[in-house]
Amino acid sequence: MPTITDEWMIGDVKIANRIVVAPMAGISNPAFRGICRSFHPGLVYTEMISDKALYFRNEKTLKMTAMEDNDHPLAMQIFGHDTATMVAAARFLDTQTQCDIIDVNMGCPVNKVIKAKAGSYLMREEAHTVAMMREVVQAVHKPVTVKMRIGFDVEHCNCVTLAQKLESIGVKAIAVHGRTRSQMYEGRADWSYIKKVKEACSIPIIGNGDIRIVHDAQRMLEETHCDAVMIGRGLLGNPWLIAQCSAYLKNETMLPMPTLHERFELVRLHAHRLCEEKGEIVGMREMRGHAAWYVKGLPRSHKLKQALTMITTMAELDQLLSEYECQMADEESFDQV
């Protein structure tokens, strides 16, 4: 099993360790990526960006390509179906952004994307997809990667053959989510297909699916021999998992969970960054979901979680967190009497 301290490469891009932060739609903005960066992952992805929106220079979409100075290495992910607009979008990322890697989404399972024949739909059209990806690879200088599922449904698990074809036309790495499109995010990820893709390809293979605790990351590396583990939903409300996985894979050190104060300070920082990025009205609306994830599992947090889903200002957030901290401190003092 590779150790977490091993550097590895995607094309000419050096990756410092084996922990990768997945692209998550509506989540992986600069604010979230900045929080994750503080725990030192090897590579981070953006949320998926529409090829056509980039092609037509949609103002909101162009803002999605913004990145901070320390946001490296970064893979910017695009999605689409039409070769001309995918090539144009890739060229834009190649020449007009500071991203390090251009990733193509072949894994998104949501109906809106499928109806546009993008995301995991591309796995149904191998000939078109490979031809399109050849054009994309030849049009840019930065390394091109792909994130896919194991197949569109259980009858068509074609990740191995598609991965081999993509490698042959110059794709530099592939992330494999161990579910089919028809599974959406339900059921268990089948890591055996990740292993099959790794055995069939010589480029780096990144394993994705069901990494929730440190031992999941260790087990995926051991069972599949993949080059890195990609964590997505397991980081929602728990970005500490990045550092915990790193420490354990390096020397089997189990880092402690954060204290309540440390947890809430990160919640406040996340909210502050979202407000700086999007303004307080939009930022706090987006923070509602994040705040609820951060407090999940805390004792007697049901009322707090409900209240956090209705916050509109930083002041409201701060007050709710402070009141809960005081409540927990009082209970701890009472228990010690």
At residue 251 the predicted structure's pLDDT band, cuts being 50, 70 and 90, is: confident
Question: Is 70 exceeded by the pLDDT of residue 1?
Answer: no
Q: Which helix (H) or strand (E) covers residue 173, if one does?
A: strand 173-180
The whole-number pLDDT of residue 240 equals: 98
Confidence class for position 250, pLDDT limits 50, 70, 90: confident
Q: Is the pLDDT of residue 41 over 70?
A: yes
- The pLDDT tens digits for 253-296 are 999 999 999 999 999 999 999 999 999 999 999 999 999 999 99
128 or 4: which leads in pLDDT: 128
Answer whether residue 301 shows pLDDT above 80: yes
Q: Is the pLDDT of residue 337 over 50?
A: no
How many residues belong to the chain?
337
* pLDDT score of 3 more than 60: no
- Among residues 36, 99, 108, 275, the one annotated as catalytic is 108
* Ordered domains of the chain (ranges, CATH): 8-251 (3.20.20.70), 260-336 (1.10.1200)
Report which secondary-structure segment, H or E, holds 231.
strand 228-231
pLDDT digits (tens, 9 = 90+) for 185-202: 999 999 999 999 999 999
Query: What percentage of the chain carries pLDDT values higher than 90?
Result: 92
Checking if the pLDDT of 48 tops 90, the result is yes
Number of Cβ atoms within 10 Å of the Cβ of 16: 16
Residue type at 283? Answer: G
Average pLDDT over residues 301-327: 96
226 annotated active-site: no
How would residue 320 be classed by pLDDT, with cut points 50, 70 and 90? very high
Q: Which pLDDT band holds residue 334 (cuts at 50, 70, 90)?
A: very low
| Cβ neighbours around 66 below 10 Å, total | 13
Would you state the structure tokens that stand for residue 221, as one six-digit string?
A: 């590396």
pLDDT band at 335 (very low <50, low <70, confident <90, very high): very low
Q: Which residue has the tokens 């081999």?
A: 164
